[in-house]
């Protein structure tokens, strides 16, 4: 193996220690940070994510509210619940877990969250703020990847970066953060012709498609930084990413493993966004 591993677990621990300290300081001033997580239905993966988010709140001194609502909840009832949370002064962050059941318009629900509590950074106001280089909340997964670059000294200004995937949750905000940092960014997707021609010219490749073994060693420039956002299962049911880790680790300079790479950073950055929101509220009240 030639690549150095980017350790998302160690970096998460470091950031969470800082978050816990800031949470204690805010609580002492009467502004305990609070996160509300809303889960509609019984999607098994979502249940695990939500449980982990609530546990992270408990472990770091946050107030948390967890709404587990039935799959047949009406859109109107969900909008009403979001409105209550918007007005709850103990809540600094609201996260409605996606995907939502088909009868609910996810876009409408996201737009109903007060932008100053939208710790996912999915509201159009926050997406626009990010696009214009004035982010209020950066979406958690791309924000976590940026923290990894910072921690491992990856130079972004002038770097050629390829983002594979164009979702609103990861691909598009990731590209924006890189653009804002001065990288030259290409966004590829599953239909891109000759993707290797793009990735072989890249100093940084970020794979976020949900397609196993999408990025192979022959597609990576020697010494490149490779970030794997994928969360898939292999034929034996083991968690794996979008990158052919065993092959790519022999070519890359830096690489994230799955598990233990980007995954732990996502919840950590949710805590960071929530504490930032609580700190803004506390200083506005001071």
Active-site residue (options: 67, 118, 120, 244): 120
Pattern 72-101, ligand GUN, x by CB under 6 A: -----------------------xxxx---
Closest residue to ligand GUN in the complex (CB): 98
Question: Residue 191: which of 214, 225, 168, 173 has the closest Cα?
Answer: 214
Active-site residue (options: 7, 67, 97, 147): 97
**Is the backbone peptide bond immediately before 99 cis, with ω within 30 degrees of 0?**
yes
Pattern 119-158, ligand GUN, x by CB under 6 A: -x-------------------x------------------
The answer to whether 39 and 97 are in contact (CB under 8 A) is yes
Total number of residues shown for the chain: 286
Distance CA 50, CA 257 (A): 23
* CB-nearer residue toward ligand GUN: 95 or 207: 95
CA geometry: angle 91, 92, 95, nearest 5 deg: 85
Query: For residue 249, what is the DSSP state?
Result: T
* CB-nearer residue toward ligand GUN: 27 or 47: 47
Distance CA 206, CA 204 (A): 7
Site for ligand GUN in 206-235 (CB under 6 A): none
Annotated catalytic, 67?
A: no
Residue 178 binds to ligand GUN (criterion: CB under 6 A): no
User: What CA dihedral angle connects 205, 210, 214 and 220, to 10 degrees?
Assistant: 10
Annotated catalytic, 221?
A: no
Q: What radius of gyration do the chain's Cα atoms show?
A: 19
Residue 169 binds to ligand GUN (criterion: CB under 6 A): yes
- The minimum distance between CB 169 and ligand GUN, in angstroms, equals 5
Distance CA 138, CA 128 (A): 11
- Which token pair is 119? 């710790």
- Which token pair is 113? 């969250």
Residue 244 binds to ligand GUN (criterion: CB under 6 A): no
- The minimum distance between CB 197 and ligand GUN, in angstroms, equals 30
* CB-nearer residue toward ligand GUN: 95 or 224: 95
The answer to whether 249 and 229 are in contact (CB under 8 A) is no
The answer to whether 3 and 259 are in contact (CB under 8 A) is no
* CB-nearer residue toward ligand GUN: 27 or 52: 52
- The minimum distance between CB 229 and ligand GUN, in angstroms, equals 10
Annotated catalytic, 97?
A: yes
Active-site residue (options: 53, 147, 221, 249): 53
- Residue positions annotated with a catalytic role: 53, 97, 120
Q: Write out the residues near ligand GUN by the rule CB under 6 A.
A: 95-98, 120, 140, 169
């Amino acid at each position: 193996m030639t690549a150095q591993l980017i350790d998302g677990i160690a970096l998460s621990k470091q950031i969470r220690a800082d978050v816990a300290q800031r949470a204690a300081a805010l609580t002492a001033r009467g502004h305990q940070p609070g996160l509300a997580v809303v889960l509609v239905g019984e999607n098994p993966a979502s249940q695990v994510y939500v449980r982990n988010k609530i546990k992270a709140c408990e472990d770091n001194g946050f107030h948390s509210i967890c709404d587990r609502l039935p799959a047949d909840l009406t859109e109107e009832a969900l909008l009403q619940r979001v409105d209550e949370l918007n007005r709850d002064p103990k809540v600094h962050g609201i996260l409605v877990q996606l995907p939502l059941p088909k009868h609910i318009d996810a876009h409408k629900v996201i737009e109903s969250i007060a932008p100053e509590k939208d710790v996912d950074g999915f509201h159009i106001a926050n997406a626009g703020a990010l696009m214009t280089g004035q982010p209020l909340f950066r979406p958690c997964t791309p924000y976590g990847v940026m923290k990894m670059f910072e921690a491992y000294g990856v130079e972004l200004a002038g770097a050629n970066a390829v983002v594979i995937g164009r979702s609103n949750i990861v691909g598009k905000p990731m590209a924006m953060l890189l653009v804002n940092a001065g990288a030259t960014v290409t966004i590829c997707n599953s239909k891109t012709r000759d993707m290797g021609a793009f990735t072989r010219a890249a100093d940084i490749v970020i794979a976020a498609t949900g397609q196993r073994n999408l990025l192979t060693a022959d597609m990576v420039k020697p010494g490149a930084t490779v970030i794997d956002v994928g969360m898939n299962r292999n034929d034996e049911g083991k968690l794996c990413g979008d990158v052919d880790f065993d092959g790519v680790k022999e070519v890359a300079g830096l690489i994230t493993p799955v598990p233990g790479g980007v995954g732990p950073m996502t919840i950590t950055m949710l805590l960071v966004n929530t504490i930032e929101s609580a700190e803004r509220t506390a200083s506005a009240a001071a």
